[in-house]
Structure 1
């Protein structure tokens, strides 16, 4: 749904890690719960979804260490001129990162200049909309939440011919393929590309597992295994929980639990990434919703919103008082500073349909249709996404999986300081993955008016899974179909 990457990052770093959240999207809580309960008609079968997720890897994956040697430009290095690259910043480190990327490109392409515009994340989309509406705007746009809207308005350059002519981008043995559907619009033409990928992982405190004598999570874990471990790792003194087996983390967000629904054989929308209606009142969705409530109110292994709010930082994974957390791979970089205990990551537990990962694009890039230098724009975004030099710089940031597979599986990425012992599952979790984000022109209105206030009731146990599913599907689809 319409949630920019920055919203997802801020949500996880500031709120999601402690589960101090009562809404789906970290856009603020809904109104005070109340009103009549929703009707409960019969449950429909789950919508038909693909049984085989997109496979992003070849049968034999390259394992050679990545070289930082520059890749020869497609144009032969003849591009010149100046363009503006715009992306949101999430702090000083990100500003420095983009400066280094721009400098590396300009060194390899003499006669070019990359001008960076890096507003704070909470201002990016608003400013971009204003600039584009006036007929200006940056040459290179980096967004996911309004990409389809920009395509419909004719503001994006068609990249199909360039992508199809490239020797790397559409080669599944060289480049992660799961993200292309995010940028295929209309008759399947391509309007963007990405430099990396991200997904969801299970973080765990090795010291707490050892102390309790519980076996570490394995790649073959089921959700039943997860619950059993969480029970053993939850400690109480009288009625007070002093150590939680888990925290909800990303399970408070639609994009955080949608792949649990996939693993049950369903989905929350009729199609991805551009959907027409919500599909919530079916058994796979209801089973996952019940699971989320049960973690808090039946098994009592995860803090409720009220408990998490009272605990504050003391209820975070970093506090050492939470044994497991479902979170994104992007948090590996911030957690490398943890010294108080040993921790690791594993693939998320699997469901009846096996494991299906969630795909997020790293640095999604589109080109403004009104740019005066499309060749330079293409050369830069292609270099960013597919050159070994740029991909190696991305690998060293430890904030996303490089899109080039030889770099993703190299020691440069997997053996760098800060990578946990099983960091390779960050890459392997993308082997069977589907796009996590979904878009609809009216979805932000639907989120604000319908989903968030009802989710607030649901997460506080004031609404059953079916009441939530029926109400949000019915009222949400009315908003989606209006206008």
Structure 2
């Protein structure tokens, strides 16, 4: 009798074990340097430790350019990751092609996060035809990273919160030096990418627009006088004032590498540079807001977790996205330095405003949020931005004049505006 009872118990245990479902698989692809990748590894580990119903496979493409290429290729082939990170500037192409699952309905049903928890501009940047398509992970402005040691050595005052274009240029000039007297610049005052995205806030600060109509753009607006004057000022940083490396010097060592090496005093970047600078920069550094022109303005940097429309386990993928954007998930990534959290409560917490971590002036990212503006939400914006940046780059390094660059940027991108799908 006892043997029969034991056999019955064993039979039940085996049956229960056989009924236990396998975890639902979800694939997640990210880009970034090792410090950034480590943050996402921690995120996935924390999610999987909290539950056993969903198994997330994390893949990593270090180069952002390679990531974008692979993502486009995978979507075109019908084999995209279930969850991916997309900038609002590039999400339009995937949305217009019907490749992303709208996440507004999921958010509306969530007991973990709600729309009112986020900075509104981040939700706006991923809204298409009144549908929220992706859940924003971060909100960042473009800021000036600066080497405090070089400022001190040159006797230059650190940037004030209300500094101007003239203050910015004067600092860059004082910090551009031939330290060994051989006639070659050894230390540059500034490093900046010569692109439309970097130029945009300076155009807005000068009272200009980067497109002809912010509500319904049909062409670039760089030929209009306020915008062209901002482009002229931007280009002159290299061609006239030589506070930025010329094309040959930039090719031999890019400006971000120079900043990390301590031979460039200021570098313009979003928050995503912070983990690398914390890990690799052997000097004291901090951040400052962009210098102001006739008015203040900044350009939004925001990435979001997006769900593929072809994902097999959509509910499981949503659970991961929901966790990643919960206070716990955003806190984990914020502690790496990678993000300015899109959740207001986490952005205002010590997880982001950690006084023991650089940059000491992290609140600059929050104080400048009211000044942030969006580039247009168009399916072809990536092509528009890339093509225009080619002409801006040529002007920046003295190959063509500012007026010619503005005209060429306008004319070469007109077809992309004509082809664009828009909200």
Please indicate the TM-score interval, normalised by the length of the shorter structure: 0.7 to 0.9
Q: Which residue of 2 aligns with 1:267?
A: 209
Q: Which residue of 1 aligns with 2:317?
A: 377
- Secondary structure in structure 1 of the residue aligned to 2:24: strand
Q: Matches of 2:281 and 2:149 in 1, distance apart?
A: 12
Q: Which residue of 1 aligns with 2:102?
A: 158
Is the Cα–Cα contact under 8 Å of residues 94 and 100 in structure 2 kept in the other structure?
A: yes
Q: Which residue of 2 aligns with 1:368?
A: 308
The structure-2 alpha-carbon separation of the partners of 1:478 and 1:441, relative to structure 1 and needing over 3 Å to count, comes to closer
Q: Which residue of 1 aligns with 2:188?
A: 244
2:60 equivalent to 1:118: yes
Q: Matches of 1:311 and 1:373 in 2, distance apart?
A: 45
Q: Matches of 1:136 and 1:205 in 2, distance apart?
A: 44
Q: Matches of 2:352 and 2:208 in 1, distance apart?
A: 34
Unaligned ranges ≥5, structure 2: 1-20
Residue 134 of structure 1 deviates from its aligned partner by 4.5
2:171 equivalent to 1:229: yes
Q: Matches of 1:125 and 1:166 in 2, distance apart?
A: 30
Q: Matches of 1:156 and 1:80 in 2, distance apart?
A: 26
Q: Matches of 1:274 and 1:102 in 2, distance apart?
A: 40
The structure-2 alpha-carbon separation of the partners of 1:341 and 1:126, relative to structure 1 and needing over 3 Å to count, comes to closer
- Secondary structure in structure 1 of the residue aligned to 2:185: strand
Q: Matches of 1:81 and 1:315 in 2, distance apart?
A: 43
Q: Matches of 2:176 and 2:343 in 1, distance apart?
A: 40
Of the three residues 91, 112, 118, the one matched with 1:147 is 91
TM-score of the two chains, using structure 1 as the length reference = 0.72
RMSD: 3.1
Superposition pairs of residues 78-477 of structure 1, within 5 angstroms: 81-121=23-63, 122-144=65-87, 146-166=90-110, 168-171=113-116, 174-186=117-129, 188-236=130-178, 237=181, 239-247=183-191, 249-250=192-193, 252-270=194-212, 275-309=217-251, 316-337=258-279, 340-354=282-296, 356-362=297-303, 364-385=304-325, 387-415=326-354, 417-436=356-375, 439-441=378-380, 443-444=382-383, 450-451=387-388, 453-477=390-414
Q: Matches of 1:120 and 1:210 in 2, distance apart?
A: 35
Relative contact order, CA 8 A, sep 6+: which one is greater? Answer: 1
Q: Which residue of 2 aligns with 1:20?
A: none
Is the Cα–Cα contact under 8 Å of residues 84 and 117 in structure 1 kept in the other structure?
A: no
The structure-2 alpha-carbon separation of the partners of 1:98 and 1:150, relative to structure 1 and needing over 3 Å to count, comes to same
- Secondary structure in structure 1 of the residue aligned to 2:369: coil
- Secondary structure in structure 2 of the residue aligned to 1:118: strand
Larger Rg: 2
Is the Cα–Cα contact under 8 Å of residues 314 and 321 in structure 1 kept in the other structure?
A: no
Q: Which residue of 2 aligns with 1:54?
A: none
Alpha-carbon deviations, 1:320-340, whole Å to 9, x = none?
332222222222221124564
Q: Which residue of 2 aligns with 1:46?
A: none
Residue 288 of structure 1 deviates from its aligned partner by 1.7
The size of the alignment, in residue pairs, is 395
The structure-2 alpha-carbon separation of the partners of 1:86 and 1:202, relative to structure 1 and needing over 3 Å to count, comes to same
Is the Cα–Cα contact under 8 Å of residues 89 and 95 in structure 1 kept in the other structure?
A: yes
Is the Cα–Cα contact under 8 Å of residues 90 and 379 in structure 2 kept in the other structure?
A: no
Query: Does 329-338 or 90-99 show the bigger shift?
Result: 90-99
